[in-house]
Amino acid sequence: MPTRPFSAIANLRHTLAAAVANAGTFTVPYPAGTTQASLTGSTNGQLALKSGEVFKQAASGAGTVAFAFGASTITVTNNTGSTLPAAAEVYLSFGEIDINGSYNLTTPRKVQTTAG
């Protein structure tokens, strides 16, 4: 597991069934308690490898990953610049949702915290 903890809407550990080439994709289920509606529009997500490498979420660009939130699964696009090997454990963190500053809150928001 990566040495730094994730602080996010949701996290998921997934083992790749096959190698994923650069620009290739793989799909994962939604983490428990999340749906397309709860993750669409989220930012600052990431993919981390057991080796400690971390790749940030972006729509495109070298050294990144992209997330597409479908009706029942999440499609992850590998833009890391290298192939993710078969049987690799990946740790996915599905970022944050911009709520335009706490001064604009009209209803309570659940805040996730981590011990550490």
**What's 107's DSSP letter?**
S
Position 92 scores a pLDDT of: 94
Phi-psi category of residue 90: left, alpha or beta, with phi > 0 → left and psi -120 to 50 → alpha = beta
pTM of the model: 0.78
What gap in Å lies between CA 99 and CA 29, rounded to an integer? 25
pLDDT at residue 52 above 50? yes
Position 8 scores a pLDDT of: 79
What gap in Å lies between CA 68 and CA 39, rounded to an integer? 10
Position 100 scores a pLDDT of: 52
Average pLDDT for residues 1-16, to the nearest whole number?
72
What gap in Å lies between CA 48 and CA 99, rounded to an integer? 26
Position 98 scores a pLDDT of: 55
In tens, the pLDDT along 69-103 reads 999 999 999 999 999 999 999 999 998 765 554 44
Cβ 70 vs Cβ 23: under 8 Å: no
